[in-house]
Amino acid sequence: MPEQRTDWLTGRTVIVAENRALRPNEFEADRNISRAASACPFCPGNESLTPPPEYEQFDDRGRWRVRVVPNKFPALNNPVATGGPPVAAAAEPAAATCNLAIGAHEVIIESARHIDRTSALTALELRHVLETYAERLRHWRNDGRLAYGLVFKNQGPRAGASIAHLHSQLVALPAVPSAVEAELHRAKHAFDEKHSCAYCRMLEQERTERARIVLDRDGYVAFCPFASLQPHEVWLLPANHEPSFERAASVDTLSRLADVLHDVIARLESIVPAGSFNLLLRTAPWKIDCDTWFHWRIELLPRVNSIAGLEMATGIYINPVAPERAALQLRSL
Ligand SMILES: [Zn+2]
Ligand SMILES: [Zn+2]
């Protein structure tokens, strides 16, 4: 069973999930050609290769168009199966704590078509995917036992995808991870100092300077952040203050978001080798009242350089492309 271990000295948290090593990896087996649709566990006709769905969206003809299944190789133990919140099993005076890693881990199959790029979806199809993100985040928030939900996508072999067929993942955790907590702490502090949302102020500054803006339309702003970790990193935020993605989600907001996000991702995919990137959806935690000082966002992190010693030791990244140049390039596509 996956275990969550925290080292008190470094504050590092790791989930030890040896079952994950059993995952199939199409990219390793055959780096250039992903497996045929006939053998793909995410393609229609092969539904028996995944656990039963927890949620499905259907088209007019009753065929599924988005499908959510529990991860077959979960990094977390389902709270329904294990019966509740994490057990504290700290082995004092050892320098570490070890809990059962409890939470949800789901796979969101984004299309019934065997495609491997987000830009191969239409903007409408991307809206259906975003609706599914909102639906599943609301589901786990309402469950009441979990504190934090993250939706992410690893697209392409360089971003950690093990199956080519377009999919995202959702994890819901019983506690806010320490890296997220550190940002929340800074955001709250910044709000207290100036009595306004720090993310709104950042947007205001980006919109004034314009040098790092990629797109600014339909209520969303996409820009290359001032301290981008990777070349062509893009953040996308709602232009008006909005703490929670899933609470703000409606047909109207998600239609506009799908349109802008589709545009940004298509631009990124045309630049980034093999279209490899990570998408992170950072929405408000569920048990902290941060409505005035947190602002949700999507981060798009192209995977160009691999993460190596310096990054692992210090958290300091070296980015060879200035975000101003990256934004200019993305704007002009
Ligand atoms: Zn497939
Ligand atoms: Zn804000």
Q: Whole-structure pTM over 0.85, yes or no?
A: yes
Distance of CA 79 to the CA centre of its chain: 21
| Structure confidence at residue 210 (pLDDT) | 97
pLDDT at site 30 = 44
Please check whether residue 92 lies inside any domain of the structure: no
**pLDDT band (50, 70, 90) for residue 27:** low
Q: Which ligand is nearest to the CA of 35?
A: 1
Residues 71-93: pLDDT tens digits?
877 777 777 666 554 444 444 44
Residue 97 falls inside a structural domain? no
pLDDT bucket at 8, cuts 50 / 70 / 90? low
What are 72's two structure tokens? 């077959």
* φ, ψ at 224 (rounded to 5°): -90, 115
Task: Quote the mean pLDDT of the chain.
Answer: 88
* 3 belongs to a structural domain: no
Domain that holds residue 241: 51-71+103-333
Residue 63 is assigned to a structural domain of this protein: yes
What residues contact 113, with CB distance under 8 A and at least 6 apart?
A: 120
| 153 alpha carbon – ligand 1 mean position (Å) | 16
And the tokens for 143?
Answer: 């469950």
Give the span between the Cα atoms of 12 and 162, in whole angstroms.
Answer: 25
**How far, CA to CA in Å, does 108 sit from each of 7, 90, 158, 309, 330?**
32, 34, 20, 32, 28
pLDDT at 274: 84
Tell me what the mean pLDDT of segment 28-54 comes to: 79
- The total of structural domains in the chain comes to 1
For residue 97, the model assigns a pLDDT of 54
- In percent, the amount of the chain with pLDDT more than 90 equals 66
Q: Is 230 helix (H, G, I), strand (E, B) or coil?
A: coil
How far is ligand 2, taken at its centre, from the CA of residue 196, in Å? 8
Ligand closest to Cα of 199 equals 2
Residue 18 has pLDDT above 90, yes or no: no
The residues, ordered by sequence, that sit 6+ positions from 116 with a Cβ below 8 Å of its Cβ are 34, 155, 156, 164, 165, 166, 275
What is the pLDDT confidence band of residue 69, given thresholds at 50, 70 and 90? very high
Give domain status of residue 198, yes or no. Answer: yes
pLDDT value at position 316?
81
Task: Tell me, yes or no, whether 9 lies in a domain.
Answer: no
Task: State in Å: Cα 220 to ligand 2 middle.
Answer: 12
What pLDDT sits at residue 77? 78
Domain-embedded: residue 62 = yes
| pLDDT band for position 100 (cuts 50, 70, 90) | low
pLDDT surpasses 50 at 262: yes
47 alpha carbon – ligand 1 mean position (Å): 11
- Expressed in angstroms and rounded, the spacing between residue 116 Cα and the centre of ligand 1 is 8
69 C-alpha to ligand 1 centroid (Å): 14
* Percentage above 70 pLDDT, the chain: 87
**182-232 tens-digit pLDDT:** 999 999 999 999 999 999 999 999 999 999 999 999 999 999 999 988 899
Ligand nearest to the CA of 296: 2
Residue 203's pLDDT is 97
Residue 90 is predicted with a pLDDT of 42
pLDDT digits (tens, 9 = 90+) for 276-322: 999 999 999 999 999 999 999 999 999 876 777 888 888 788 888 89
Distance 261 CA to ligand 1 centre (A): 23
In 3D, which of 19, 186, 212, 26 has the Cα closest to residue 114? 26
Name the band, by pLDDT with cuts 50, 70 and 90, for residue 28: low
Assess if residue 8 is contained within a domain: no
Query: Concatenated DSSP letters for 237-306?
Result: EESS--S-HHHH--HHHHHHHHHHHHHHHHHHHHHSGGG-EEEEEE---SSS--TTT---EEEEEE--SP
Can you give the CATH number for the domain in which 134 is found? 3.30.428.10
DSSP 22: G
